[in-house]
Amino acid sequence: MPRVDNEAFYRRAMADHGATPQGLHWRSAYTQTARFVALARCLPEDLSSTTLVDAGCGFGDLYNFLCEHRGPPAGYVGLEVCEPMIQTARERTGCQIWLMDVLKDPLPKADFYLCSGAMNNLTRDETGRFIQHCYGATRQAFVFNLLKGQPGPSRFNYYLPEEIRAHGEALGARVEILEDYLDNDFTAAFYKI
């Protein structure tokens, strides 16, 4: 059973904060951007020949961050399960934003899959399946962030970096972990070998 009802979780935040980082349950624009910077460190410098899928794209903020700092990718698709976010993401990015459940639906292929925060309220089983599905759909790497800490009864999902490293290695990936940007967060890149 999911930790929270995603639809209600995000609708409440959007009603309180609008189409802002806090409307996606980010603590602040600063922490959202710090996570985006870490994700970008795991991508090629030049994205002009790279296709990206953003799993759990929210309002499309990661796409706009990448365009501003790296230039637009060759192709981008945002995936989102929360329907109220989709229209805003389409307007902000001008890209394809699909209503899709990563845990259930067939995923499009892309060079890189990205995920910033969308796994933070899944169960551990759901997180494992989410990672496996995205890694299976990427040609080069799946890059994502998670909350760092001991698992517990919180409404959020916490992992230790070594758990995720072991998970990636079990999938046959070359794993890179970044822990130098926020105290309670880490980024993992599962590269195809």
Per-residue pLDDT, 18: 59
122-156 pLDDT, tens per residue?
Answer: 999 999 999 999 999 999 999 999 999 988 777 78
pLDDT value of residue 152: 76
pLDDT in tens, 29-70: 788 899 999 999 999 999 999 999 999 999 899 999 999 999
Give the Cα separation of 51 and 64 in Å (integer): 15
**CA–CA separation, 138 vs 133, rounded Å?**
9
Kind and range of the H or E run holding 185:
strand 185-191
If one counts every other C-beta atom within 10 angstroms of the C-beta of residue 10, the result is 22
Q: Which CATH number fits domain 34-191: 3.40.50.150, 3.50.50.60, 3.40.50.10420, 3.60.20.10?
A: 3.40.50.150
| pLDDT of the residue at 168 | 98
> Which residue is listed with tokens 């794993």?
175
User: 18-48: buried (b, 16+ CB within 10 Å) or exposed (e) per residue?
Assistant: ebbbebbbbeeeebbebbbebbbebbeeebe
- 66-120 pLDDT tens trace: 999 999 999 999 999 888 889 999 999 999 999 999 999 999 999 999 999 999 9
Q: What is the pLDDT of residues 165-175, one digit of tens each?
A: 999 999 999 99
Q: What is the 3-state secondary structure (H, E, C) of 126-149?
A: HHHHHHHHHHHHEEEEEEEEEEEC
- β-partners of residue 99 are 80
Average pLDDT over residues 3-23: 58
pLDDT at 144: 98
